[in-house]
Structure 1
Amino acid sequence: MRRLAVELYGTRVGWLEGVDPRTADFRADPGAIETFGLASTMVSESLPLVPRPPARRAARRVNVFVELLPEGDNRAALAAMAGLRVDDSIGLLARFGRDVAGALQLWDVDDPTEPRHPSLEPVSETEIARILDDVRRAPLGNLRDLGKTSLAGVQQKIVLVRQGVRWFRPIGGYASTHIVKVAASATPTMLADEWLGHELARRVGLATHSADLVDIAGVPALVVERFDRHAAAPDGRLHQEDMNQALGASGNEKYQRFGGVVTLDRIDQLVQHRLGPDARVALIRRVALTVAMGDLDAHAKNMGVMHFPDGGASLAPSYDTVPLAHQRNDGEVALAVAGEYRHAAITLDMIVEQFGGTDVVRAEVVQTVERVRDAVRVLGDDDRRHPAVVPDIVQFSENLLAGRPAGLSAARGR
Structure 2
Amino acid sequence: MTPDQLIVWQNHQRVGTLWRGLDGRLMGFEYDEEWQASGQAISNSLPLNQRTWPPETLTAHHWFGNLLPEEQARAALIRQLGIPDDDFSLLAAIGGDCAGALSILPPHQTPEPSNRHDCDTPLSQERLNEWAAFKQRYALFAESQQAPKPRLSLAGAQDKIPVIWRDETFYLPQGTAPSSHIVKFAVDGRDHVIFNELYLNTLAALVDIDCPSTSVRYAGRYPLLVVERYDRAWVNGSLQRIHQEDLCQAMGMSRTQKYQEYGGPTLADCFHLLRDVCKPPAQSLQQLLRWQIFNVLVGNSDGHAKNVSRVIVKFCVWPVRRQSCLTDRSRVRRP
Superposition TM-score, scaled by structure 2 size: 0.84
> When you count helix as a share of all residues, which structure comes out higher?
1
Give distance in 2, aligned partners of 1:185 and 1:226: 24
For residues 59-74 of structure 1, what are the structure 2 equivalents within 5 Å?
59-74=58-73
- The Cα offsets for residues 175-224 of structure 1, whole Å up to 9 and x where unpaired, read as 11111112123423111111111112222333242111222333211111
Match of 1:104 in 2: 102
Give distance in 2, aligned partners of 1:46 and 1:78: 28
Q: Structure 1 residues 235, 224: CA separation in 2 closer, same or farther (over 3 Å shift)?
A: closer
Match of 1:292 in 2: 297
In structure 2, what residue type is equivalent to 1:93? L
Aligned-residue sequence identity (percent) comes to 30
In structure 1, what residue type is equivalent to 2:243? H
- What's the secondary structure of 1:215's corresponding residue? strand
Q: 1:7 aligns with which of 9, 12, 15?
A: 9
In structure 2, what residue type is equivalent to 1:317? R
Q: 2:33 aligns with which of 30, 48, 60?
A: 30
8 A Cα contact 1:21 1:59, kept in partner? no
Q: 2:255 aligns with which of 251, 254, 263?
A: 251
8 A Cα contact 1:8 1:105, kept in partner? yes
8 A Cα contact 2:62 2:255, kept in partner? no
Deviation at 1:299, TM superposition (A): 0.7
Relative contact order (C-alpha < 8 Å, sep 6+): which is higher?
A: 2
Please say if 1:115 is aligned against 2:110: yes
Give distance in 2, aligned partners of 1:106 and 1:56: 17
Deviation at 1:298, TM superposition (A): 0.8
Q: 1:93 aligns with which of 91, 94, 112?
A: 91
Please say if 1:314 is aligned against 2:330: yes
Q: Structure 1 residues 122, 81: CA separation in 2 closer, same or farther (over 3 Å shift)?
A: same
Give distance in 2, aligned partners of 1:98 and 1:163: 21
Give distance in 2, aligned partners of 1:264 and 1:136: 39
8 A Cα contact 1:74 1:136, kept in partner? no
Give distance in 2, aligned partners of 1:209 and 1:54: 34
Give distance in 2, aligned partners of 1:235 and 1:46: 28
Deviation at 1:72, TM superposition (A): 1.0
Deviation at 1:229, TM superposition (A): 0.9
Q: 1:279 aligns with which of 260, 284, 295?
A: 284
Deviation at 1:69, TM superposition (A): 0.7
**Count of aligned pairs:** 309
- The Cα offsets for residues 70-109 of structure 1, whole Å up to 9 and x where unpaired, read as 01111112212222122x2111101100011111100111
In structure 2, what residue type is equivalent to 1:16? L
Match of 1:220 in 2: 223
For residues 186-265 of structure 1, what are the structure 2 equivalents within 5 Å?
186-232=189-235, 236-259=240-263, 261-265=264-268
- What's the secondary structure of 2:93's corresponding residue? helix
Match of 2:130 in 1: 130
RMSD: 2.5
Match of 2:320 in 1: none
Match of 2:74 in 1: 75
Higher CA-based Rg:
1
Give distance in 2, aligned partners of 1:138 and 1:77: 7
Give distance in 1, aligned partners of 2:249 and 2:272: 15
Unmatched segments (≥5 aa) in structure 2: 318-326
Deviation at 1:136, TM superposition (A): 5.5
Give distance in 2, aligned partners of 1:179 and 1:81: 20
Give distance in 1, aligned partners of 2:66 and 2:218: 32
Superposition TM-score, scaled by structure 1 size: 0.69
Deviation at 1:258, TM superposition (A): 0.5
8 A Cα contact 2:243 2:311, kept in partner? yes
Match of 2:83 in 1: 84
- What's the secondary structure of 1:25's corresponding residue? strand
In structure 2, what residue type is equivalent to 1:273? D
